[in-house]
Amino acid sequence: MRVLIAEDERMLADSIAEGLRAEALAVDVVYDGDAALERLGVHDYDVLVLDRDLPVVHGDDVCRAAVESGALVRVLMLTAAVAVPARVEGLRIGADDYLTKPFAFEELVARVQALGRRARPAAPPALERAGIRLDPSRREVLRDGRYVHLARKEFGLLAELLRADGTIVSAERLLEKVWDEHTDPFTNTVRVTLMKLRRKLGDPPVIETVPGAGYRIR
């Protein structure tokens, strides 16, 4: 899942990003509405965590633009306003959910994950293929009944391959969905992570490299 955080309180924005990355999410951060619109025009995000009172371009206008663009991104709006009319107005302009400051980080994580599930087609609770079973809610992977311990990026990469249901996923797509914008697009990090993932999954090999196209699990 890829998340954009648009929040002008830099310490808060960076703290949220650090916490979400610890949950194996790819996270980008901007500090004003203009930068948020720029990122939304370049990347396909699953969830936008949006401060309503952004500078340069107001959060309401960012929300409207995201909705009008037809993007699948889900919007979690943050605000210090606690009055019901303010929350209702935010939902009416297109926000999918609302969270008032201060908030418990655990609640924000739960809301982001719930919105992320809504941003993509419904999927079964666990992903299964070729003897592999990945349970996103429990962060658990089994290979032919054997528990496999994976690092965060290995888990995210395997999840994207399983969601593809046997179709080819390009290295660019994996980089887009599992890593964030600070990753060098010319890096070999996808190949290296795949090498580690294959080693942990063991034999017989299940991840196929399709030359010039990408990777798939048959």
CATH code assigned at 131 = 1.10.10.10
Task: Determine which of 4-13, 30-39, 137-146 has the lowest per-residue pLDDT on average.
Answer: 137-146
Do 101 and 142 lie in a common domain?
no
Do 86 and 9 lie in a common domain?
yes
Do 89 and 134 lie in a common domain?
no
Upper half-sphere CA count for residue 135 (Cβ side, 13 Å): 11
Residue 72: predicted pLDDT: 83
Fill in the amino acid letter for 177.
Answer: K
Residue 202: predicted pLDDT: 94
Mean pLDDT (whole number) for 131-154: 91
pLDDT in tens, 55-74: 999 999 999 999 888 778 99
Q: Are 66 and 43 in contact (CB under 8 A)?
A: no
Cα 93 versus chain centre, distance: 23
Domain boundary among 82, 99, 119: 119
Residue 218: predicted pLDDT: 82
Residue 120: predicted pLDDT: 61
Do 94 and 202 lie in a common domain?
no
Do 186 and 141 lie in a common domain?
yes
Q: Are 35 and 55 in contact (CB under 8 A)?
A: no
Mean pLDDT (whole number) for 44-61: 94
Do 12 and 110 lie in a common domain?
yes
Do 108 and 30 lie in a common domain?
yes
Residue 32: predicted pLDDT: 97
Do 90 and 142 lie in a common domain?
no
DSSP 168: -
Domain count, the chain: 2
The Cβ of residue 86 has, within 10 Å, a number of other Cβ atoms equal to 14
Domain boundary among 95, 119, 143: 119
Q: Check: pTM over 0.75? Answer yes or no.
A: no
pLDDT at 91 over 80: no
Maximum Cα–Cα distance for the chain, whole Å? 59
Task: Determine the structural domain holding residue 171 and report its residue range.
Answer: 127-217
The Cβ of residue 114 has, within 10 Å, a number of other Cβ atoms equal to 15
Domain boundary among 119, 152, 173: 119
Helix (H) or strand (E) holding 202: none
Do 115 and 150 lie in a common domain?
no
Residue 71: predicted pLDDT: 79
185 pLDDT tier (thresholds 50, 70, 90)? low
Do 147 and 192 lie in a common domain?
yes
pLDDT at 123 over 60: no
CATH code assigned at 55 = 3.40.50.2300
